[in-house]
Structure 1
Amino acid sequence: MASTSPLVVGIGGTVGSVSSTERALRIALDAAAREGFATQLFGGADLVRLPLYDPRATARTPDEMAFVDAVRRASAVIIASPGYHGSISGVVKNALDLLEETSRDARPYLADMPVGLIATAYGWQATGSTIAALRSIVHALRGWPTPFAAAINTQVTKFDEEGGASDPAVVEQLSLIGRQVARFAPLATA
């Protein structure tokens, strides 16, 4: 994808190996790429390298700077989190806390950006509360959650290494998120 293409940044995953959350996020990012967007993924391995956010820190690590710079360049964002104990994971929350570094920018936080949301959990209960938490955070960061968010029960839906899922309806839901952020991104620059 050419560097002049608008950028969709994906944020999500878990500590350890590639997770269902990260695989779901990749499906959504692939859909945005098919709409002509460049994509950049900050998966679990990237998120775990971000130190705990300290608002008093006078310097940032190269990983922190790369993450913040990517979000600054983004036209849209997709956030995917596993549902841990009814809410988002610590590594996803820590990454979002780091966006405080943009508070003095001309476009602070996620202002006026479309933000797609994905929650995965081993059961249905945590998916709804995780989506609700993500929507609340995106609103606090001045972003626009897309109309559709995907809540995925990983007890029922399994993801594979080839970028698919056992339920075609879930693949379509995740693709819809990618298409929605691509569709709404031009509104952010209008």
Structure 2
Amino acid sequence: MASLAPSTAAPLVVGIGGTIGSVSSTERALRIAVEAAGAEGFRTRVFGGADLARLPLYDPRAPERTAEEQEFVATVRQASAVIIASPGYHGSISGVVKNALDLLEETARDPRPYLADMPVGLIATAYGWQATGSTIAALRSIVHALRGWPTPFAAAINSQLTKFDDEGSASEPAVVDQLRLVGRQVARFAPLAGTIESKT
């Protein structure tokens, strides 16, 4: 296992989310939140829809991992905080986001397994309000199972009402403020989580 970045480096906030095929509202929302964490002086890395699409379906018995799987796991190992954004599909999170989170089983025997002790910001987008609530609830449950700490505020976005643009903003200023709050909250708690130096 590779050593992590020196403890003197700024904490890393990792964003995970998006959909396959295009830069979605979910990924645009995620990037607004991650950029807010970056504005607080943190390093950031986003695994958007195109990145998640390159991850094969998680097979716990696979003899080796692809380069994309290795990069994803290694980056999360270095993180001090995570922001997860998912579209609401049939009342829950999307398969592509769940697949990425399943891959964190590779960290089960680490000194800090899964998302243990990390602040985790949550974002859900859906075409209507009902699925946003159930998707946030599902994300909270998953983060608890991964031993992470969901931040107090989660952003639920109704994509019927809010439209995102290519410039990193949205039609509803209040939604942008909510997303930035998610980023600021994970940034606030990230230094408390830190990283655990791994043995080589």
Task: Pick the TM interval, shorter chain.
Answer: over 0.9
> Contact between 2:11 and 2:194, CA under 8 Å: does it hold in 1?
no
Q: CA deviation at 1:189?
A: 3.3
Q: Distance in 2 between matches of 1:161 and 1:20?
A: 10
1:184 aligns with 189
Q: What secondary structure, in the 3-state scheme, does the structure 2 residue paired with 1:134 have?
A: helix
The reply to whether residue 165 of structure 1 matches residue 138 of structure 2 is: no
The reply to whether residue 145 of structure 1 matches residue 150 of structure 2 is: yes
Where do residues 17-166 of structure 1 align in structure 2 (5 Å cutoff)?
17-166=22-171
Q: CA deviation at 1:6?
A: 1.2
Q: Distance in 2 between matches of 1:102 and 1:172?
A: 33
Whichever residue aligns with residue 118 of structure 1, its letter is I
Q: CA deviation at 1:154?
A: 0.3
Q: What secondary structure, in the 3-state scheme, does the structure 1 residue paired with 2:151 have?
A: strand
Q: Distance in 1 between matches of 2:194 and 2:49?
A: 30
Q: What secondary structure, in the 3-state scheme, does the structure 1 residue paired with 2:14 have?
A: strand
Q: Distance in 2 between matches of 1:32 and 1:58?
A: 36
Q: Distance in 1 between matches of 2:72 and 2:194?
A: 21
Q: CA deviation at 1:88?
A: 0.2
Gaps of 5+ in 2: 1-7, 196-200
> Contact between 2:129 and 2:158, CA under 8 Å: does it hold in 1?
yes
Q: CA RMSD in A?
A: 1.1
Q: CA deviation at 1:161?
A: 0.3
Q: What secondary structure, in the 3-state scheme, does the structure 2 residue paired with 1:40 have?
A: strand
TM-score (norm 1): 0.97
Q: Distance in 2 between matches of 1:58 and 1:14?
A: 28
Identity across matched positions, percent: 82
Q: CA deviation at 1:188?
A: 1.4
Whichever residue aligns with residue 78 of structure 2, its letter is R
Gaps of 5+ in 1: none
TM-score (norm 2): 0.92
> Contact between 2:17 and 2:47, CA under 8 Å: does it hold in 1?
yes
Whichever residue aligns with residue 186 of structure 1, its letter is P
Q: Distance in 2 between matches of 1:189 and 1:12?
A: 22
Superposition misfits of 4+ residues, deviation over 6 angstroms: none
Whichever residue aligns with residue 146 of structure 2, its letter is L
